[in-house]
Amino acid sequence: MAARRRSVSPWAEAWRRFRRHKLAVASLFVLAAMVLLVVFGPSLWKVAINDIDFSARLQAPSTAHPFGTDDLGQDLFARMLYGGRISLAVGLAAMLMAIVVGVTIGAVAGISRGSVDAALMWLTDLFLSLPQLPLLLLVIYLFRDTLKGVFGPEVGVFILIVAVIGMFRWMPVARLVRAQFFSLREKEFVEAARALGASTSRQVVRHILPNALGPVIVAGTIDVAAAIIAESTLSFLGLGFPPDIPTWGRLLFDAKDHMDIAAHWALFPGAAIFLTVLAINFIGDGLRDALDPRKVM
């Protein structure tokens, strides 16, 4: 009797392809370790982030302070763990916002014809042509105090940072989804669903969108890395979170005047940003290879 061919789901096949990308698998473990560290680390390293000890200011890494201390004697390891939660949360939240807005606009443009598609692409091109950094600074100056008063200093700035970063990251996703829709809506399985009387919304939700999610997932990993860098840039410029909220970018901003005598102060947050972004980019490369049906592995 002929052996039965075991059916493999598309996601199982994608995971098999992903596992063959050694750098992506290693990066996945590195990123998972960093996430676990920033999530559960403060529960194990119970040092307050705002404890001031002038007798221990600008100390090099030691057993008492694994990452050293800053100019106020505050423990940098504790502040790194706390700030990592915010930096990663900003990256994920901004990515989700960009993906939701981009997929929505790209799907509507891709399934529509004529003036609707032209108007949405005109809007996308308009946002792409805007100078991002000056507009980010303008929006922050206009709305920071208002959101602080409504939601509090930490939550208000978090909402503002996520909104302004996500506002300038959805356009590539929209273009990508639109191109995918243009290609998929002429495929045989979509034409069969249309011939069977499937509504436009059903064609999008059940047939086109699931097959367009592969490139969107890859774009999402890139958006996480870009959002983390953007938040770090804003914090480094002093326009992000308040000084008592130690994000990785804020730690770099505080360390810039002590580089000659306390290089460790900038080394550790800089290395954290570097490793996180590098790991996410390698994971994106692995996902691109795993979700590309034309690539044989």
pLDDT single digits (tens) 167-226: 888 888 888 888 888 888 777 777 787 787 777 778 777 778 777 777 788 788 878 878
Q: Which CATH architecture has domain 14-38+76-290?
A: Orthogonal Bundle (1.10)
Output the pLDDT for position 166: 84
Q: Residue 69 — φ and ψ, nearest 5°?
A: -130, 165
How many other CB atoms are found less than 10 A from the CB of residue 229? 17
Residue 5 has pLDDT above 70, yes or no: no
- 235-262 average pLDDT score: 80
Q: How confident is the model at residue 33 (pLDDT cuts 50, 70, 90)?
A: very high
pLDDT in tens, 35-86: 999 889 888 888 888 888 888 888 888 888 888 888 888 889 989 998 888 8
- 120-134 average pLDDT score: 84
Residue 29 has pLDDT above 90, yes or no: yes
pLDDT, greater one: 87 or 240: 87
User: CB of 235 within 8 A of CB of 252?
Assistant: yes
Residue 6 has pLDDT above 80, yes or no: no
Per-residue tokens: 23: 């750098």
How many other CB atoms are found less than 10 A from the CB of residue 230? 25
Output the pLDDT for position 293: 55
Output the pLDDT for position 42: 84
Distance CA 126, CA 171 (A): 10
Q: Residue 197 — φ and ψ, nearest 5°?
A: 95, 15
